[in-house]
Amino acid sequence: MAQLLGLLLLSFLITSLLLVPFIDLLYKWKLRRQNQETRDVFDKLTPIFDKLHGWKVGTPVGGGLLIILVVTIMTLWSYGLFGFTPKVWEIFLLLFSFISFGLLGLYDDIRKTFGYQRGGFFGLRLRHKLLFQIILALIIGILFYTKLGVDFINIHWFGTVEIGIFYIPLAAFIVVSFANAFNITDGLDGLASGLLLICLTAFWVISSTLLDPTLAVFIAIWIGSLLAFLYFNIYPARIWLGDVGALSFGATLAVVGLLTGKIPAVAIIGGVFVAEVASSFLQLISKKFLGKKVFHVAPLHLWFQNKDWGEPKVVTRFWLIGILFAIFGLWLAVIK
């Protein structure tokens, strides 16, 4: 544990030292929100969001890129410091999801920041980006099934249920769902990154009870880097994760949960992310098939903000709810 805490602190220190120069670099690259009009994933204008967040124009996006670089390099370096043989395919799954979904998110940040329209590579539509996510998630599911031999789910009080090859689409569904849930939740300063810290702390405890040092090392480094980022991301944020961080972190959070083998606990520990994506999905379905909205605006955090809750109040209370979800999910995962 002392070594893990040391890695966490080292990761925090390295990220802290790099963040201010990295923010300056993002300004130089002009990788920041350029105008007061934003569009959702369906290329529709979002007037309520713009009314509440228009003053944030100019804030750099892409903070997730620095975290991905720091965590990846430190992870590859740190496994040589311990007296155990790391699980190669476990490391590969973590870094593959971390980097591949990050690259997909980086494409989206570039497209949105520099205003590329449809047509050509930079004009990929939502269904094409979703297709890429599904392909990446299926690769992850296949690796779980073929390289780690995982073909079952562990449901507390019911025991282990073998589902064979159907584990692949299940794992892919969870990865894609969490990638998009995180992306949807990342709408207020500090909200998604704070909730991620809460979730990772719970999974860190689970990995320790499972005696999985490979996973514990990765989570410790990730927590340290994320803590440094959160200092600059809380309201009013000096930097945002961007899609490069949101898609990467959501997908990798799902992989971390899958590696613990506690699939029901994944949905509970990440309960706020689940609620956020569920509210957006319910809103979409209702508008499409019933012709009316369930909420005046979705997702949930924006609905509360539109009810005149201050942004810090929404974020703090969502963090508190996230802590309760994490405690309950952790209890469910470790109880005998």
Using alpha carbons only, give the angle 13, 185, 48 rounded to the nearest 5 degrees. Answer: 125
pLDDT score of 40: 58
pLDDT in the model for residue 257: 92
Q: Count up the domains in the chain and report the number.
A: 1
Domain of residue 177 covers: 2-334
Alpha carbons 172 and 97: distance in angstroms, whole number: 11
Element (H or E) spanning 219, and its range?
Answer: helix 213-233
Contact by Cβ (8 Å): 39, 48: no
Cβ atoms of 172 and 216 closer than 8 Å:
no
Angle at 269 between CA 265 and CA 273, to 5 degrees: 120
CB 271 within 8 Å of CB 329: yes
164: buried, middle or exposed (CB in 10 Å: 19+, 13-18, 0-12)?
exposed
Place of tokens 């999910």: 329
Which residues are bridge partners to 68 per DSSP? none
**Short-list 25, 20, 64, CA closest to 242:** 64
Angstrom CA distances, 335 to 153, 204, 265, stand at 17, 16, 12
Contact 120, 109 (CB under 8 A): no
What end-to-end distance do the CA atoms of the chain give, in Å?
Answer: 23
Per-residue confidence in pLDDT tens, the chain, 336 aa: 788 899 999 999 999 999 999 999 999 888 877 665 666 555 566 777 777 777 788 889 999 999 999 999 999 998 877 766 778 999 999 999 999 999 999 988 888 787 654 444 445 667 788 999 999 999 999 999 999 998 888 777 777 788 899 999 999 999 999 999 999 999 899 999 999 999 999 999 998 888 788 899 999 999 999 999 999 999 999 999 999 999 999 999 999 999 988 788 889 999 999 999 999 888 888 877 777 777 778 789 988 998 889 999 999 999 999 999 999 999 888 776
Rounded to 5 degrees, φ, ψ at 278 are -65, -40
Question: CB neighbours (10 Å) of residue 125?
Answer: 12
Tokens linked to 49:
């969001």
How far lies 174's CA from each of 123, 198, 251, 263, in Å? 27, 19, 8, 9
* Partners of residue 240 on adjacent β-strands: 61
